[in-house]
Chains A and B, each alone.
Chain A
Amino acid sequence: NAGVMQNPRHLVRRRGQEARLRCSPMKGHSHVYWYRQLPEEGLKFMVYLQKENIIDESGMPKERFSAEFPKEGPSILRIQQVVRGDSAAYFCASSTGTGVHEQYFGPGTRLTVT
């Protein structure tokens, strides 16, 4: 049973470019979460999605960031016009819709903005 998959694992972008991060949840999981981890800091929640719905986006910056989880295909976290402060590890997690809802994390995408 494949785990949560994220790609790319490493992404380098120049200031002003767009970054697209992809996440495929574990088989049987319909809930997806995005977290950001800055150097020397803890994981910070960004957004929680179910298929075609954003459930909680209270952690998303108001501008330049967006997320989707379409009916078909992976969840996408999109960062427009990246700035140096966006450099971080972005982790995706997934869970089932029942029970404990423990979240299983993907390997992360390390974004570097030059």
Chain B
Amino acid sequence: GQNIDQPTEMTATEGAIVQINCTYQTSGFNGLFWYQQHAGEAPTFLSYNVLDGLEEKGRFSSFLSRSKGYSYLLLKELQMKDSASYLCAVRGGGATNKLIFGTGTLLAVQP
């Protein structure tokens, strides 16, 4: 079966660092994506990992361990505008490019 787990909600303080975890069990693996989605808006692409290790992109970093079926998204220097849902998605193996999404983590950044 296909299963992607993320915490439902998290709260953090402006200026701080937060780590959002994602574990997955999927039939096949061809990359893991993180998206940000503000309420009522489209998801926007944040990062992509296909090999083990850390990918850094400005205030955002994403880590992958394929052997553990585990990823995290790290957000540094939190800003109020970072309050959003963060979606973990896995692309399965084979010819399809479809993404399997977790239910998302709603992050609230407080002053």
Contact = CB atoms under 8 A, between A and B. Distances in A.
Give the size range of A's interface with the partner: 20 to 34
Q: Which of A33, A41, A42, A101 has the most CB of B within 10 A?
A: A42
Contacts of B74: none
B96 A48 contact: yes
Interface in A1-55: 4, 31, 33, 35, 41-45, 48, 55
Contacts of A69: none
Contacts, number: 60
A59 interface: yes
Interface of B: 31, 33, 35, 41-45, 48, 50, 87, 89, 91, 95-104
19 contacts: A41-B103, A42-B102, A42-B104, A43-B43, A43-B87, A44-B101, A45-B98, A45-B101, A55-B95, A56-B96, A56-B97, A56-B98, A58-B96, A101-B91, A102-B45, A103-B33, A103-B97, A107-B42, A108-B42
